Amino acid sequence: MLKTTALVCGAGGFIGSHLVRRLKLDGFWVRGIDLKMPDYGDSEADEFVVGDLRQQDFCARVIDRGFHEVYQLAADMGGAGYIFTGQHDADIIHNSATINLNVADLCRRRAVGRVFFSSSACVYPAVNQQNPDNPNCVESSAYPASPDSEYGWEKLISERLFQSYGRNYAMTCRIARYHNIFGPSGTWDGGREKVPAAICRKVAQAAHGGEIEIWGDGRQTRSFLYIDECIEGTLRLMRSGFAGPVNIGSEEMVSINQLVDMVCDIAGKRLHKRHVAGPTGVRGRASDNRLIAETLDWQPTQSLMAGLEKTYAWVESQLLRRAA
């Protein structure tokens, strides 16, 4: 019997490598594409092709058939230290937009079954996220558009690209706006890591009674979604009948100071917080899950604490491995 086929663009990255594992468990034949192999462990894809999706001829070579499902996760991306400094804006727009233009068009030419595009909560207007206690991230609030970063602007235009292909070429496209996904096998140092992994690393490296450096006053709020629930939501959205962008995130909002306290509790350490200048992004952001609950009859339920415990243990194991 012929297997159901999936292509994962960005399969060497954090979410992509977890997605490949899940698709394999679900019985798919999977081809993974990335500039690099996964950083932590081997890929479980049946085929893994290393190459650059900015190159049209490479895209044509790897998107060579009507895959049942194509997941477009490849992007030039990173945490606040990469996205919000302004130093990488031209690369972020150029690299990610070129990938999306290429992938969308090849998917049309090969008549793939369904295409998934990973957008971001960064599309939401900065002006709606100034109150740390009450940010507005309902899907319809993305317009009038005013994202706080070039990364968000690129995501917004690429959402429109995939939606246009859906309308004009009857391509079945699904779009998620991910909100701060975290978990094991995510980047945890080097400058592209996100808040949960960075805090786990800093806490693990600090001596009990020592100090931890936090960017900004730490009162900015966020919600964080554990990777397993991100993958579950992604697959449910992909196979649903809903074409508009949907938030995939958690509604459990915490301040960065609270996040630090949670990680300190897990580690059993007391640390003094030292607030320093640094890129922090908007003042408040959390997922609004009314649309996902309504359209998919599902939403994430796992507590932040449960995900942090697994992530802290993993980051600590990486530090121990490096030290050995």
Among 8, 30, 80, 99, binds ligand NAD (CB under 6 A): 99
Q: Compute the least distance from the CB of residue 175 to ligand NAD, in Å.
A: 11
Mark the segment that binds ligand NAD (CB under 6 A) among 50-58, 156-164, 214-222, 252-260. Answer: 50-58
The question of whether 143 is a catalytic residue gets the answer no
Q: What kind and span of H or E run contains 205?
A: helix 195-205
Contact 77, 83 (CB under 8 A): yes
Contact 118, 176 (CB under 8 A): yes
Q: What kind and span of H or E run contains 182?
A: strand 181-182
Mark the segment that binds ligand NAD (CB under 6 A) among 23-31, 72-80, 211-219, 307-315. Answer: 72-80
Mark the segment that binds ligand NAD (CB under 6 A) among 59-67, 104-112, 175-183, 253-261. Answer: 175-183
> Cβ contacts of residue 214 below 8 Å, gap of 6+?
256, 257, 260, 273, 274, 275, 276
Q: Is 88 in the site for ligand NAD (CB under 6 A)?
A: no
| Amino acid, single-letter form, for residue 124 | Y
Q: Compute the least distance from the CB of residue 101 to ligand NAD, in Å.
A: 12
Give the separation between CA 114 and CA 158, rounded to whole angstroms.
16
Interactions with ligand NAD, residue window 100-139 (CB under 6 A): 118, 120
Which one of 151, 165, 178, 312 is the catalytic residue? 151
Contact 215, 259 (CB under 8 A): no
Q: Which value, to the nearest 10 degrees, does the dihedral of the CA atoms of residues 255, 248, 193, 53 take?
A: -160
Question: Which C-beta is closer to ligand NAD: that of 5 or that of 102?
Answer: 102
Question: Which C-beta is closer to ligand NAD: that of 201 or that of 206?
Answer: 201
Question: Which C-beta is closer to ligand NAD: that of 75 or that of 262?
Answer: 75
Residues that bind ligand NAD (CB under 6 A): 10, 12-16, 33-36, 52-54, 73-77, 95, 99, 118, 120, 178, 180-181, 194
